[in-house]
Amino acid sequence: MADLAHTGFDVALIQIDPTTAEGFEAPLRLRQAVPGARIVVLANRPELALLREALRNHINGLAELWTPANAVLALLRCAPDQLLVDGDTALAIADRARSASVSGTTTATPPAAPHLTKREQEVLELLGRGFDTSNIAERLGVSIHTVRGHVKKLMQKLRARTQLQAVLNASELGILPRLDRERAHVDPVGGGSSPN
């Protein structure tokens, strides 16, 4: 991996198997070797733990292995300081986390869900469907500054550093309704969502 630093690349697409002991080793070594590179990880069954590792280690994109090429290309074009997750992948991770929570396979006692206002709940649901702040403002008929204020409060209440983390935390806490994959389509380039 040390030799990779001298190849002069900007972007890396890595396929991993998160179920093996090595799991996340290659992206981490690549991040250490080439700190400024954009790294997108494809995994056969990404779980919440993998998403947390991606956030913690400044990975730029995460998608399931069978994600369509145009969505993977959009992830590869992401800004170097962002983590983008393909919409269907985010829904799959949230579903798996919710299923694990319902089936009792988690050992820790989950924290109590924070109280959200009706408007905060609306904003959270739209974030969960892939809308960005300007789309949410347009949809709710409020200013983008108002939406940003709600998002900021949501992130504080859900103890999240990013909007994606807020959505995942809300899903884990059971306060984000289950999203119908057939009806929600997330546009990874524009960040908007629209019914099919």
In whole angstroms, give the CA distance from residue 176 to residue 171: 5
pLDDT tier at 190, thresholds 50, 70, 90 = very low
Structurally, the chain folds into a number of domains equal to: 2
Do 70 and 7 belong together in one domain?
yes
Burial class for 81, CB neighbours closer than 10 Å (0-12, 13-18, 19+)? exposed
* Helix 163-173 and helix 87-103, axial crossing angle in degrees, nearest 10: 30
Do 66 and 124 belong together in one domain?
no
Is residue 183, in this structure, part of any structural domain at all?
yes
Do 132 and 60 belong together in one domain?
no
- Strand, coil or helix: 61: strand
Do 122 and 74 belong together in one domain?
no
pLDDT tier at 109, thresholds 50, 70, 90 = very low
In whole angstroms, give the CA distance from residue 70 to residue 189: 9
pLDDT per position as a tens digit, 142-184: 999 999 999 999 988 888 888 888 888 888 778 875 544 433 4
Is residue 6, in this structure, part of any structural domain at all?
yes
Do 77 and 125 belong together in one domain?
no
CA angle 170, 175, 180 (to 5 degrees): 90
Domain of 136 in residue numbering reads as 118-195
Is residue 53, in this structure, part of any structural domain at all?
yes
Q: How many angstroms separate the Cα of 82 from the Cα of each of 49, 85, 162? A: 18, 10, 9
Domain boundary among 63, 85, 107: 85
User: What does the pLDDT read at residue 177?
Assistant: 59
Q: What is the CATH number of the domain that holds 186?
A: 1.10.10.10
pLDDT per position as a tens digit, 27-69: 878 878 887 888 888 888 778 888 887 887 788 888 888 888 8
- Strand, coil or helix: 185: strand
Q: pTM of the full predicted structure?
A: 0.50
Is residue 95, in this structure, part of any structural domain at all?
no
Domain boundary among 85, 107, 137: 85
Is residue 111, in this structure, part of any structural domain at all?
no
Is residue 106, in this structure, part of any structural domain at all?
no
Do 76 and 126 belong together in one domain?
no
Q: What is the CATH number of the domain that holds 52?
A: 3.40.50.2300
Is residue 110, in this structure, part of any structural domain at all?
no
Do 75 and 136 belong together in one domain?
no
Nearest to 79 by CA among 63, 64, 61: 61
pLDDT tier at 136, thresholds 50, 70, 90 = very high
